[in-house]
Structure 1
């Protein structure tokens, strides 16, 4: 016997007791011979009956088969509940793994960063011309801070990367950050670069920053936007003509050549 409990949308709520109710009773003769065999035969008969037309398992299979065509609003409630429960479990597992990975990444980012040194660097190239003055400036001006110079250098890199990506995504706040970050970077290079090569190092820093700005500030123009709004406040002319009502002339001024029609 199927459960007749129905929700508001008219769908039948399946119950596991429907499967037990479909199990036919075993004959008394079989119980007298071998109760275990009779009980197994009873369960097998119930299993077969549940897969027949209108059976419990047959209806559940039909709900699953029709779910893709029915859509979310028309599929069976127990299918939606199963999908929702599986989705919640998957989100919990992903959030747990993402939280551990993010915490580990932040820990390594703030602790296992390259050491910032003051003085000459063995690295060469255009990047070293710009990067070494920045390292020297940060190391020389962060001795009294509560964080290490390596952490300050790492945060400087993260902020620059965030401003570059956010500016490419046309974020106004990220573009303001990119502008301030570039000005601070050029100032650090100018302040800490060697005196004999300060002009070249600063020029390279400016060129590198302006080149990267083609991505961070794409679509930005210095031309002011002129909004033209024309409003005609003239008089409105309505196409209406008012004619005075005709008035009859006085009796003494009526023409004598006008005579009323007479039926003959």
Structure 2
């Protein structure tokens, strides 16, 4: 037969009662939980005057959410970029056969880079850098429409034409450069969107201003009579009847 120690029951009941008392105290009006609830409600109304712990918690949650979203989106974008970049990839040793318009552009570039890259750099790395640079410059030129990115796209296109010209057999240079120029023109329609080559008339609004010049001259003051003449008696005139 199991017997329960009275002291043990009293201690358990005391702990439970103390815990319940603490919960009631915390949840009562003016308690710790009630104050935290009021601070959260005040932060919703005006976040600039919120308590420090509310703002710190909000910033931490925002940064964690942003890191999670950016990490997920960044992984998707990197995977998509790797797929796009690898779509036109050529191996380090190009096979002897192959056709298509893309090979007409990429093969001379790879051929031109072969044997011309410095020692630490391989042909494959140089070729991948050329492709990646073109994609990045074209995207930012399309998205930002900034003059700097458009100049970079123009320079990349000119370098591509030069490499195709030098990497193609002399008998087929004109055709290869023409195909490359056509492809770059089509891509430039997106990369250089919104550019205007026409001169806009410059309109200058002229307002005729007639200056009004006012010269303030001091009023002439009568010359003071000399003291010597003022002291002399004034002689009577011929028609003066004063005696």
Q: Which residue of 2 aligns with 1:214?
A: 189
Q: 1:230 & 1:66 partners in 2: Cα distance?
A: 55
5+ residue gaps, structure 1: 1-30, 240-264
Q: Which residue of 2 aligns with 1:167?
A: 141
5+ residue gaps, structure 2: 1-6, 215-243
TM-score (norm 2): 0.67
Q: 1:91 & 1:137 partners in 2: Cα distance?
A: 44
Q: Which residue of 1 aligns with 2:119?
A: 145
Q: 1:188 & 1:118 partners in 2: Cα distance?
A: 17
- Larger of the two Rg values belongs to structure: 2
1:58 matches 2:40: no
TM-score (norm 1): 0.62
Q: 2:68 & 2:185 partners in 1: Cα distance?
A: 44
1:123 offset after TM fit, Å?
A: 4.2
| Count of residues in Structure 1 that have an aligned counterpart in Structure 2 | 207
CA contact 1:193–1:201 (8 Å) conserved in 2: yes
Q: 2:109 & 2:157 partners in 1: Cα distance?
A: 12
Q: 2:208 & 2:140 partners in 1: Cα distance?
A: 45
3-state SS, counterpart of residue 141 of structure 1: coil
Q: Which residue of 1 aligns with 2:174?
A: 199
Aligned equivalent of 1:43, options 12, 19, 23: 19
Change (3 A) 1:114 1:81: same
CA contact 1:137–1:188 (8 Å) conserved in 2: yes
Q: Which moved more, 1:228-237 or 1:147-156?
A: 228-237
3-state SS, counterpart of residue 23 of structure 2: helix
3-state SS, counterpart of residue 115 of structure 2: helix
User: Deviations 1:44-91 (Å, cap 9, x if unpaired)?
Assistant: 1121122111122122223334432333x2333332232234445667
Q: Using CA pairs under 8 Å that are at least 6 residues apart, name the structure with larger relative contact order, 1 or 2.
A: 2
1:117 matches 2:93: yes
